[in-house]
Structure 1
Amino acid sequence: MEFFLDTINLDKIAQFQEIIPVAGVTLTPSIIKREGKVDFFEHAKKIRQLIGTKRTLHIQLVAADCEQLIKDAQAVWQNVDSEVFVKIPLSLDGLKAIQYLKKQGPCHITATATYSRIQGMLAMAEHANYLAVYTSRVENIDGDFPGLIKSLKTYAANNHYGTKIMASSIKSVRQITAAAEAGADAVTFAPDVLTKAFENGALTKALTDFTDDWEALYNKRHIY
């Protein structure tokens, strides 16, 4: 499974690239807002320089209608780079924009705001590269996001689509593991979600016991 970071914080991206196998970075207006206003295109270029070309960069488009979504996509590709995965919401206008952009030639598209099977099925038919299922938001409307992921994975396999299912809008480690068990190809989450998972009293005690027991025997807190 691929692990993506929901952040524009360069320090956190650099930190977690040394801890987990980061596949890329995803950006939305909400993620940017958490860090404060930045020079968007220049900051996106800095992220690209940091993660390199072997990892992928996914940028959410913000326009509502098809024509403006297309212009948004072109602006991102022109001002950042042509390898960016533009994130297009699965409204009717979004589907129209995906179809148009794919017909223009090879391009990278992540279909977002997926709440239903029909959205996912149509995005696959338009050959979206990734399909972002909004896990927390599906749960908030009493939906079954693992069931949705499983269903979309089955549909993709049965119809030989190459679209990858990405679990996004992740708020807890439980959602990451549930998405993995459901067959998601990728998950994207804020670094703090993972940090909190390791703020575990039992884990802290185990580490302390290892060091304390070693010190009691050898009068030092390391092996070397």
Structure 2
Amino acid sequence: MKPVVIFRHACCEGAGYLGTFLAQHAIPWCEVRIDKGEAVPASVDDYSGIVLMGGPMSVNDDLPWIPPLLQLIQQAVQADVPLLGHCLGGQLISKALGGVVSKNPVKEIGWGDVQVADHTVARDWFGDLQGFNSFHWHGETFTVPEGATHVLSSAYCANQAYVMGKHIGLQCHIEMTPSMVKIWTEQWKSDIASAASSPAVQSADTMLAGVEADCEVLHRVADKVYSRWIQGLAA
């Protein structure tokens, strides 16, 4: 089987629980470390699926790797190679497919409930869940691209996820592990301080208070989403 390729845009925003999930299902994967200057592949032909992780940059920034990555996303859709985007990754997919990424009304940082839409497409990916406690760390938001279906929302961000066939783009982070939450609260503490007035921003102590149990619940949600996603992997 061809490997899944995971794009890492920041050193502390790697595969997380997704890496564990893929290993448990004996699915090979490799990493393109954009943060280390590794080049975006020119073709999707060598991969069974494409995953895009988060990062502190904006998809609207003038960065040399963004245009070729947007082209690769478009190529994946044309070739029916499934895409999975987390936060920045969901924004990249949206932009590549004609969506718009802009400032969210407020920054959303920490644990917070998301609601699952009440329709068959959402149930196909999230089962019987009506909502769940997810992790958030973003200041921008995407529009749902044409041809995609809106599946998740939160009180502070209307567009938390969309699905288009084999592809899913998420604004929230379902890939978190306790160690990732701890590292982020240290690495990005200036984000917390600068946005402390937002009603959707938690303190580091609040984020970490029940992190083991919170991640355990989130992993069960991720299992549903990732299990559905790997059904579409190219042979």
TM-score by length of 2: 0.33
- Rg comparison, structure with higher value: 1
More helix by share: 1
More strand by share: 2
TM-score by length of 1: 0.34
More relative contact order, 1 or 2 (CA 8 Å, 6+ apart):
2
